[in-house]
Structure 1
């Protein structure tokens, strides 16, 4: 169980943080202020404001992370009328720090009860100081300490999301899924190097699995499987197909007639398959291409095949919707636990598949997902003017509502399916 929890945290955390880093990096390139880049969720346990104005925080629950970009539908500052605060000034008399937390007070700070503020255009704050209403100018790069103690930059209009170029916003929104595809490729590449090469499914030369049925029959890695049950095979894909056909609907492990070629000599074997989770196996995997370029190409191929499989599954899901075809955090934890039992290679393969899955899913044009934001960017580019803030907010809220309902339904279905 402990290994399963660690695998889940590792997989889920890496996938989400890498996704969010894509948004973070390109948002900064587009001139959008990233107010916070958080690793984890929940209460803050560490915070540091960088020279770029971003608050880098670590939060107590090691599950994913988030990026807070300034602007419509992303992140804005709210201060209720009458909220007590303390103001810190620079030598020019500009407010450089607004502290709402009541903690970490500056010795020379000025207590104030806020009555109004404008951190976007006028850059000023107004409030009661010793029963007198006063207004103070606020520095463009001032920070605000939120009630939970997180210190972030204020967000003037010129650094907000909606005021970046359309291309900058589009790239920022696409960067999260893009990073997931890159992560998937890198994870597959690491697995290939760990295995010593890329799978070669275009030949009938095979790698023999330790402890498998063929190894016990004397077959070694590098031998060729010529036929199964009298049917000739010339590639690993054909080998897998013939094994599946020969073992279909069997109630117990069947014995198969296999012709194997070793050092140019053919020999016929009767091999009893081994059962695993209701399926029967001979204990072989594809032979490996060991060249450096072969490994790189192999990682690209596995990434492409995985992406195509996921797209096909999504298309089938749309055609015939079923919650059983979806999986949420509970399902991810379950398969993470199974992968952890099979070692690091299985964990990395699962990481790669889930990362690519998240990247593709996020490109679906549903409001609140990256794909929905990209669609709005494209519509705006065609119209050559901004969508109304209210319109964009309503569309985003509708998307959020859909996603919340879907997540609850999928999670409940996972619990009932896995544990009951």
Structure 2
């Protein structure tokens, strides 16, 4: 069991995670916008009053705000840092965001999330080329008595071929496919003695405690493989393998969000900035390699979440651009403003929920109840 990192260490680790990720996200917007001929007035890492900054020869003000919980690029013609919708009358100056062609605006918006995906791919590429890839075959060397797998008829030596149509290429694919799906009935194909068999398995919810004392709930089949095989990955094959790994993780993120939207998962499972900060400190205390891998995972999450079609997020802007492409004219400014207000309210509500969950995870409410009692 490890001691929990100190608060100052955790804060510094959180800034070390969020700062670079926000920078790369906004840098994606900036570079593609610049390539498309859109001028940027401000590039800010952090919000609030400027701590320090400078203005480059193109007139862009690069600055660092005192609140390191985000950032933004304010392009020429934007009404404010949040790109609040405003009326365009066709007289926007050359180089402003509103004067750019629809495809240029769309590419500029898309570039932010894509920069986060690219960063994760680069990190995983370096790791795979340096350390290799887990090649442990998806074979159940051990089947725990009374487990979901044992109940469904899985036997030691069975090779997992697929779970709900998803191919199992190595043993880590198995827990990844079921961790977020406890209680769901899954169709599993296993190979036994040269022939395939189709089984129905329902992963069971299991609570485990990690090295920091955090309780982790996840679905498990109850199978194990005690051998760990690392397969070398050639440098030219590493980017492809990294893309495959990122796709598998991103697909899992999408499935979890889908479960939340359709009521298959409780909103109590959502974590916010405080939970990310706590995890940042914990991973940083384990060493540089776990911390960098954690950065890659957060980068994937940040890229995916920003593509959700909610106003205020990049996905919301892309949705309005898609509607404009189909209608051959922009969505009315009144509609955009109402959608913006709805998006702001939705995100504010979400932040309240995840902050409540974070504080609950820290045991604050239980402690307060104890004091009151």
Q: Same fold (TM over 0.5)?
A: yes
Which secondary structure state, in structure 1, belongs to the residue aligned with residue 58 of structure 2?
A: coil
The verdict on how the C-alpha distance between 1:201 and 1:311 changes in structure 2, with shifts beyond 3 A counting, is farther
Q: CA deviation at 1:363?
A: 1.0
Superposed CA deviations along residues 257-280 of structure 1, whole A, max 9, x for unmatched, are xxxxxxxxxxxxxxxxxx956899
Work out whether 1:200 is the aligned partner of 2:135: yes
Q: CA deviation at 1:162?
A: 2.0
From 325, 343, 346, the counterpart of 1:402 = 346
* Deviation per residue, 1:175-203 (Å, 9 max, x gap): 11111110111122233345x21222447
> Does structure 1 retain, via aligned residues, the 8 Å contact 2:320–2:330?
no
Q: CA deviation at 1:406?
A: 1.2
Name the residue aligned to 1:49.
55
Out of 134, 149, 157, which is 1:232 matched to?
157
Structure 2 unaligned residues grouped into runs of 5+: 1-5, 83-88, 144-154, 160-168, 179-208, 217-221, 365-373
Would you tell me which structure has more helix in proportion to its own residues? 2
DSSP 3-state at the match of 2:331: coil
Rate the CA distance shift 1:330–1:164 in 2: closer, same or farther, 3 A.
same
The alignment's C-alpha RMSD in Å is 3.2
> Which residue does the alignment assign to 1:108?
none
Question: 1:32 matched to which residue of 2?
Answer: 38
Identify the structure with the greater strand proportion.
1
Determine the C-alpha separation between the residues in 2 that align with 1:344 and 1:190: 14
Cα 1:379/1:200, change in 2 over 3 Å: same
One of 281, 303, 307 as aligned partner of 1:337: 281
SS of the residue corresponding to residue 231 of structure 1 reads: coil
Structure 1 equivalent of residue 27 of structure 2: 21
Partners in 1 of 2:172 and 2:111 — Cα distance?
A: 39
Distance 2:30 2:129 in 1: 30
How far does residue 236 in structure 1 lie from its aligned partner after superposition? Answer: 4.8
- Aligned twin of 1:125: none
Distance 1:341 1:164 in 2: 46
The 8 Å contact of residues 21 and 299 in structure 2, kept in 1 or not, is answered as yes
Alignment partners' CA distance in 1, 2:327 and 2:173: 55
Does the Cα contact within 8 Å between 1:289 and 1:295 map onto a contact in 2?
Answer: no
Q: 1:203 to 1:414 in 2, by over 3 A?
A: closer
Between the two proteins, the alignment pairs up a number of residues equal to 291
CA separation of 1:29/1:364 partners in 2, compared to 1, >3 Å: closer, same or farther?
Answer: same
Structure 1: which 5+ runs fail to align? Answer: 77-119, 123-155, 205-225, 245-274
The answer on whether the counterparts of 1:197 and 1:294 sit within 8 Å (CA) in structure 2 is: no
* Matching residue of 1:162: 98
1:141-290 matches, cutoff 5 A: 157-194=93-130, 196-202=131-137, 227-228=141-142, 231-232=156-157, 236-237=170-171, 285-290=228-233
